[in-house]
A and B are shown apart, each in its own frame.
Chain A
Amino acid sequence: MGRHVRWLIFILALAIFCVWVALPETTGLQTGVNEDGEPQYLFKVQQSLGLDLVGGLRVLLEAELPPDAFTIEDLRETANSVSRRVNALGLTEATVQIQGNNRILVELPGLHDPQQAIEAIQQTALLEFVDFTGLRGYDLEGEHILTTEQLKLLEQRGLDVESASEEAMLNPLTGQPFETVVTGAGLQAASAVFSPTRPNGQPEWHIQFSLKDEVAQEFADFTERATGEPMAIVLDGEVLSTPIINGRLEGTSIITFGQQSLPGESPLETARRLENQARTLALQLRSGALRIPLRVVSAENIGPTLGRENVEPSIRAGVLGVLVVLTFMFVYYRVPGIAADLALIVFILLNLAVFKLIPVTLTLPAITGFLISIGTAVDGNILIFERIKEELRAGNDLDQALQLGFERAWTSIRDSNFSTIIICAILFLFGQTPGAAIVSGFAITLALGLIINLFTAVLVTRTFLYVLVGVLRSSLEKRQWLLGV
Chain B
Amino acid sequence: MFNIVERRRWYFLFSALIIVPGILIMIYSTATTGAPFRLDIDFVGGSNYSFQYTADGPTEGDIREVFRNLTGDEVIVQQRGEPSEHKWSVTAGFYDNDTQEAIRESLAQLGPLDEDSFNFESVSATIGHEVTQAAIAAVIVATIVITGFIVVAFRQVPNAFRYGVCAIAAMLHDILVVMGVMSLMGIVLGWKVDALFLTAVLTVVGFSVQDSIVLFDRIRENIPRYLGEPYEMIVNRSIWETIHRSLATQLNAFFIMIAILLFGGDTIKQFIFIFFVGLLSGTYSSIFIAVPLLVSWEKGEIPFLKGSGTLHQDAEFAEA
Contact = CB atoms under 8 A, between A and B. Distances in A.
B183 to A, nearest CB: 21
B256 A416 contact: no
Contacts, number: 232
Interface string A163-183: 000000000000000000000
Main secondary structure of the interface of A (DSSP, over half): helix
B205 interface: yes
A426 B145 contact: yes
Nearest to A113: B115
Nearest to B42: A435
Interface stretch (B4-12, B23-31, B257-265): B257-265
B256 A418 contact: no
Interface in B234-260: 241-242, 244-245, 248-249, 251-260
B135 to A, nearest CB: 7
Interface stretch (A79-87, A353-361, A376-384): A376-384
A364 B244 CA distance: 32
Contact of A305 (B116, B258, B263): B116
Given A426-B142, A436-B135, A439-B199, A299 B268 contact: no
Contact of A436 (B42, B211, B263): B42
Interface in B95-125: 96-97, 100-101, 104, 114-124
Interface in A261-301: 295-301
A450 B222 CA distance: 27
A436 B203 contact: no
Contacts of A375: 252-257
B267 interface: yes
Interface residues of A, number: 78
Given A379-B249, A423-B142, A434-B130, A300 B120 contact: yes
A365 interface: yes
A253 interface: no
B163 to A, nearest CB: 12
Interface stretch (A29-37, A66-74, A185-193, A366-374): A366-374
Contacts of A411: 217
B192 to A, nearest CB: 14
Contacts of A418: 149
Contact of B210 (A62, A318, A419): A419
Contact of B127 (A60, A314, A438): A60
Interface stretch (A12-20, A114-122, A151-159, A464-472): A114-122
Contacts of B210: 416-417, 419-420
B202 A427 contact: yes
Given A426-B145, A433-B134, A382 B206 contact: no
Contacts of A442: 196, 199, 203
A301 B265 contact: no
B104 A115 contact: yes
A129 to B, nearest CB: 27
Contacts of B242: 386
B206 A419 contact: yes
A324 interface: yes
B57 interface: no
Given A313-B265, A420-B207, 17 more contacts: A60-B127, A295-B96, A297-B123, A298-B123, A303-B119, A306-B267, A309-B266, A328-B252, A371-B260, A375-B257, A383-B214, A411-B217, A416-B214, A419-B206, A433-B134, A439-B195, A446-B203
Closest 8 CB pairs of A and B: A321-B259, A423-B206, A375-B256, A420-B206, A321-B256, A310-B265, A435-B131, A375-B253
